[in-house]
């Protein structure tokens, strides 16, 4: 199935906006909470942002102003949990936590969204690939947040991870057939630019993978 190039370009722009705008907001929040009271900072930020977005929605998209009680109830619930609880607690914590760690922890919201999306009348089960990706991302987050003082625990986790990688490489090495390319992966990445994610390994590459796994374990043991 070929993806529409116009849709792909919009998707790339949206992801770039998320990385730039959402990612940089943690840096600016860290600077702001170091100079201003948290309540004052958030009052200024969300009053300006809310006014601008409401004006765009009404005058640009021609959306009506909220009039029904249901609309106001939804806005109050969303505002309380997303602005007061989520952003408020995040800003308070950023007085004591670096902005990069805060961004990393907030990125774990994807785990909760995917997990909670399984439940409810419109829930859908996670595919094996999605569950594996979430597990790898969660494990990476845990590794990034391990205390630097606990070097022994970090080395144990590193050795276990390196051993798993070595076993996977060993299995592929012995499963390889002479003269054939192994582990071919070809996935469309940006169809509008005709860019694909295409990887493969031959006999020499698999040997190097195996040696890399051994070298990783040795480096950890003797570091």
Show the tokens assigned to 11: 């998707």
81 and 174 both lie in a single domain: no
Q: Mean pLDDT across the stretch 58-72?
A: 84
Residue where a domain terminates, one of 37, 64, 98 = 98
pLDDT digits (tens, 9 = 90+) for 23-55: 788 888 888 888 888 888 888 888 888 889 888
Query: Which pLDDT score, from 0 to 100, does residue 16 have?
Result: 79
138 and 164 both lie in a single domain: no
Show the tokens assigned to 76: 């109050």
pLDDT digits (tens, 9 = 90+) for 83-121: 888 888 888 888 888 887 787 777 777 777 777 777 767
Q: Mean pLDDT across the stretch 199-222?
A: 71
111 and 92 both lie in a single domain: no
Residue where a domain terminates, one of 36, 64, 98 = 98
Whether this prediction's pTM lies above 0.75 is answered by: no
77 and 117 both lie in a single domain: no
Residue reference for tokens 């070595």:
166
Q: What is the DSSP string of 61-80?
A: S-PPPP-SHHHHHHHHHHII
Q: Mean pLDDT across the stretch 59-69?
A: 84
Q: How far apart are CA 29 and CA 176, in angstroms?
A: 52
86 and 113 both lie in a single domain: no
Question: Which of these, 83, 91, 109, 116, lies nearest to 38 by C-alpha position?
Answer: 91
How many domains does the chain divide into? 3
Show the tokens assigned to 202: 């031959």
205 and 178 both lie in a single domain: yes
131 and 196 both lie in a single domain: no
Show the tokens assigned to 132: 């594996």
Domain of residue 127: give its range.
107-145
90 and 136 both lie in a single domain: no
82 and 5 both lie in a single domain: yes
pLDDT digits (tens, 9 = 90+) for 121-164: 777 777 777 777 777 777 777 777 766 666 677 677 677 777 77
90 and 157 both lie in a single domain: no
56 and 114 both lie in a single domain: no
Q: How far apart are CA 104 and CA 95, in angstroms?
A: 16
6 and 83 both lie in a single domain: yes
């Amino acid at each position: 199935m070929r993806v529409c190039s116009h849709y792909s370009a919009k998707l790339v722009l949206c992801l770039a906006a998320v990385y730039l705008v959402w990612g940089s907001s943690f840096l600016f929040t860290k600077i702001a909470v170091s100079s201003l009271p948290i309540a004052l900072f958030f009052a200024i930020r969300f009053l300006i942002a809310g006014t601008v977005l409401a004006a765009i929605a009404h005058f640009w998209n021609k959306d009506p102003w909220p009039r029904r009680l249901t609309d106001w109830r939804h806005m109050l619930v969303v505002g309380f949990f997303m602005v007061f609880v989520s952003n408020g607690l995040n800003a308070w914590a950023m007085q004591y936590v670096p902005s990069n760690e805060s961004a990393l922890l907030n990125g774990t919201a994807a785990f909760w969204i995917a997990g909670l999306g399984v439940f409810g009348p419109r829930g859908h089960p996670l595919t094996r690939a999605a569950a594996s990706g979430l597990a790898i991302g969660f494990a990476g987050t845990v590794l990034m947040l391990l205390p630097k003082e606990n070097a022994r625990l970090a080395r144990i986790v590193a050795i276990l991870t390196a051993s798993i990688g070595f076993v996977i490489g060993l299995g592929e090495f012995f499963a390889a057939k002479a003269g054939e390319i192994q582990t071919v992966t070809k996935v469309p990445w940006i169809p509008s630019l005709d860019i694909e994610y295409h990887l493969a390994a031959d006999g020499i590459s698999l040997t190097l993978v195996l040696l890399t796994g051994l070298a990783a374990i040795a480096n950890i043991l003797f570091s």
